[in-house]
Amino acid sequence: MLRTDWTRAEIRALFDLPFTELVFRAAQVHRAHQAADEVQLCTLLSIKTGGCPEDCGYCSQSAHHGSGLKAEKLMDVNSVLSAAAEAKAAGSQRFCMGAAWRSPKERDMPKVVAMIEGVKAMGLETCMTLGMLDEGQARTLADAGLDYYNHNLDSSPEYYERVTSTRTYQDRLDTLENVRNAGVSVCCGGIVGMGETREDRIGFVHALATLPRHPESVTVNALVPIRGTPLGDMLADTPMARVDDIEFVRVVAAARIACPMSMIRLSAGRESMSEAAQALCFMAGANSIFTGDKLLTTGNAGDSADAALFAKLGLRAMEGDEPMRVAAE
């Protein structure tokens, strides 16, 4: 049922389908494995902002770029738990915490562990994104009860070197392997609209679909062009390079078909999408969103806007467990 032997030719054939046929097939796959009217609500908090030594071309938090973002210290545990409580009250099922690090330092691990334990005690799913992890760090997070670890592949293996030069694609895969071996579920995706070609988008979906185990959550981001970042400046000056809504939905649909039991999450860039574009994404199998007013350092649609959209589309917040995690138990 869950294939990890997809070929690029097969993924390319999905992208080449007439748009309505692709969305129809993705909707069929979605309904075969998941409730079509449920969308998981997640909240993302930046627990350590700015000053990252990586040079990812899309990121305002890189110390290499002139985005004007001020570096901040790791938040205190109580402030994080307060934000988690607000997220739960607003209906979020999962609370995600992100730190602008290449990898966590040992001196920070006790606070990170305390955050995981505190958020989990509230009855929320916990997710962390802290950069690269070695085997020991992954085990420490697993022992604290971490449910998910986010580490994105960003794009295709071929395009990746145009996104960052401070780590390799294999570095990404090594962290995912360490997380898997520690028994933590994986959240992994990438960014659409970084100047890549369709072939790169095909390669990106193929890379996800051929991991040893599909990610339990697949994040699909639309690049938010931020002045002062290489990719942000490039796309701000050449807006025609951005990916249109139809192509973005194609990525969502192909990911749904190739990873049928994964949660497909609309992440960054959703605040600039029309309601119609978001509705097409949900039709194509997206069933998870980040809600709230902010994603790390960029804006987001907000709880009230999401509630209004859900009411208009007849969607409801997901309350049960994700299919892949249920199947693994």
Concerning whether 259 is annotated as a catalytic residue, the answer is no
Q: Are 142 and 134 in contact (CB under 8 A)?
A: no
Q: Which of 25, 42, 52, 270 is catalytic?
A: 52
In a domain, 2, yes or no: no
15-44 residues labelled b (16+ CB within 10 A) or e (exposed): bebeeeebbebbbebbeebbeeeebbbbbb
Q: Are 98 and 129 in contact (CB under 8 A)?
A: yes
Strands 298-299 and 294-295: antiparallel
In a domain, 15, yes or no: yes
| Count of the separate structural domains present in the chain | 1
Q: Residue 134's pLDDT is what?
A: 96
Task: Provide the annotated binding site for [2Fe-2S] cluster.
Answer: 96, 127, 187, 265
Q: Residue 203's pLDDT is what?
A: 97
Q: Where are the beta strands (DSSP E) in 17-101?
A: 38-48, 94-99
In a domain, 3, yes or no: no
CA distances from 276 to 9, 125, 151, 185, 279 (A): 30, 30, 29, 32, 5
Concerning whether 188 is annotated as a catalytic residue, the answer is no
pTM listed for this prediction: 0.92
Concerning whether 198 is annotated as a catalytic residue, the answer is no
DSSP lists the bridge partners of residue 219 as 265
Q: Which helix (H) or strand (E) holds 150?
A: strand 148-150
In a domain, 310, yes or no: yes
In a domain, 31, yes or no: yes
In a domain, 283, yes or no: yes
Concerning whether 187 is annotated as a catalytic residue, the answer is yes
Q: Which of 42, 94, 167, 187 is catalytic?
A: 187
Q: Which of 25, 42, 59, 259 is catalytic?
A: 59
Q: Residue 303's pLDDT is what?
A: 62
Concerning whether 172 is annotated as a catalytic residue, the answer is no
In a domain, 325, yes or no: no
Q: Residue 320's pLDDT is what?
A: 77
In a domain, 237, yes or no: yes
Q: What is the CATH number of the domain that holds 114?
A: 3.20.20.70
Task: Provide the annotated binding site.
Answer: 52, 56, 59, 96, 127, 187, 265
Range of the domain at 112: 8-319
Task: Provide the annotated binding site for [4Fe-4S] cluster.
Answer: 52, 56, 59
3-state DSSP percent of the chain in helix, strand and coil, to 5: 45, 15, 40
Q: Which of 25, 94, 96, 281 is catalytic?
A: 96
Would you write out the chain's pLDDT as a tens digit for each of its 329 residues? 689 999 999 999 999 999 999 999 999 999 999 999 999 999 999 999 888 889 888 888 888 887 777 888 999 999 999 999 999 998 899 999 999 999 999 999 999 999 999 999 999 999 999 999 999 999 999 999 999 999 999 999 999 999 999 999 999 999 999 999 999 999 999 999 998 999 999 999 999 999 999 999 999 999 888 888 888 888 777 765 678 999 999 999 999 999 999 999 998 888 888 999 999 999 999 999 988 765 555 555 556 888 899 999 999 999 877 777 666 66
Q: Which of 25, 94, 242, 265 is catalytic?
A: 265
The three-point CA angle 205-135-45 to 5° equals: 60
